[in-house]
Amino acid sequence: MKILVLGAGAIGGYFGARLVQAGADVQFLVRERRCAQLRDRGLVVKSPMGDFTVPAKTVLREQIESPADLLLLTCKAYDLDTAIDAIGPAMGPSTHVLPLLNGLAHLDTLRSAFGAARVAAGSVGIPATLTADGDVLQLGAFHRISFGVLPGTSVDVLPKLQALRDFFAATPVTVELAEDMMLGLWEKFVGLATLAAMTCLMRSSAGDILRTDEGAALMAEAFDVCDRAARAAGHAPRAAAMVPFKSMLTDRASPMMASMLRDLEGGGRTEGEHIVGDMLARARAAGIDPGPLRHAWVHLQAAENRRQREAR
């Protein structure tokens, strides 16, 4: 199975490197600067489970000569249109796309571009970043990936996903071939939208927020909005799946903050529209008062307006 990973940043680089480590046939679709880094240094991963380096086969968009069997999409949501254009030459009649983006809005975009039959879905959980030297730095001890079919995905994707599961099973990564991937996406969406909305709005970690007079109540209110939106969509989160999120969102010592906050404070673009804005819109469409999500979305929009104004 020929796997093409779009990008070799923190997510694509980490999970792609693990696949290479397991012996999978992986190629990374990258830009010229990243191509040069990988050629000179290899794909370097620094992990609590042990550092390692793997050779990275790279390709530029104009060099793609044949379609991939499975294409892992690891871009930021705001780069999705550019990513769709980049992977076009690698899309054949039997190629499947496996996006590892947060949220849900990207699914309709990909289905529109390639057809529902060619789109599966996945979700990852890992605290990671890319260093200035181009090394993938895993910031915490957990690293998990789940993936599965969606309504409308063609059944011929299953052998590919099973093979992908087997490759990851040969590495330290926790892997799941999900029976209900849409439910899994909604469960993460609920937890992430709450964390992103509150930590970006307050510019602080979950614990910092919870140690204020009204922080715990606001955090609970934001979570309730997201949970009710999922239930209204027919994907009621499972209690067991929400335990890690609830623990993180109620721990007064928690240092956790959404990566979106790091992007925001760094003056860069964020996935606010794809996560907080989209969750707010889905809650409103279901007749649910968006509560703190409304303030968080204004905060993110205002920050983006300022970023664009100052860039001009």
pLDDT at 139: 84
103 and 229 share a domain? no
**pLDDT tens-digit map of 149-177:** 999 999 999 999 999 999 999 999 999 99
Is residue 96 a contact partner of residue 69, using CB atoms and an 8 Å limit? yes
| Euclidean distance between the first and the last CA atom of the chain, given in angstroms as a whole number | 46
40 and 147 share a domain? yes
259 and 226 share a domain? yes
How far does Cα 27 stand from its chain's mean position?
20
Beta strands at 57-59 and 144-148: parallel, antiparallel or unpaired: unpaired
pLDDT at 52: 92
pLDDT at 282: 98
Q: Quote the domain boundaries for residue 204.
A: 183-311
Domain count, the chain: 2
CA distances from residue 158 to 94, 97, 154, 162, 175 in whole angstroms, order as listed: 12, 12, 8, 6, 15
306 and 193 share a domain? yes
Tell me: pLDDT of 140 over 90.
no
- CATH number reported for the structural domain that contains residue 204 in this entry: 1.10.1040.10
pLDDT at 126: 87
Tell me: pLDDT of 141 over 90.
no
Mean pLDDT of all residues belonging to the chain: 95
**pLDDT tens-digit map of 244-279:** 999 999 999 999 999 899 999 999 999 999 999 999
196 and 212 share a domain? yes
149 and 175 share a domain? yes
User: What's the whole-model pTM score?
Assistant: 0.93
146 and 208 share a domain? no
**pLDDT tens-digit map of 101-129:** 999 999 999 999 999 999 999 999 988 88
Which residues contact residue 213 at a Cβ distance below 8 angstroms, ignoring those fewer than 6 apart?
none
Which residues contact residue 264 at a Cβ distance below 8 angstroms, ignoring those fewer than 6 apart?
200, 203, 270, 272, 300, 303
pLDDT at 286: 98
Which residues contact residue 88 at a Cβ distance below 8 angstroms, ignoring those fewer than 6 apart?
none
pLDDT at 127: 85
**pLDDT tens-digit map of 48-64:** 989 999 999 999 999 99
201 and 149 share a domain? no
122 and 230 share a domain? no
164 and 248 share a domain? no
130 and 29 share a domain? yes
pLDDT at 271: 96
- CATH number reported for the structural domain that contains residue 24 in this entry: 3.40.50.720
Among candidate residues 179, 203, 230, the one where a domain is terminated: 179
103 and 148 share a domain? yes
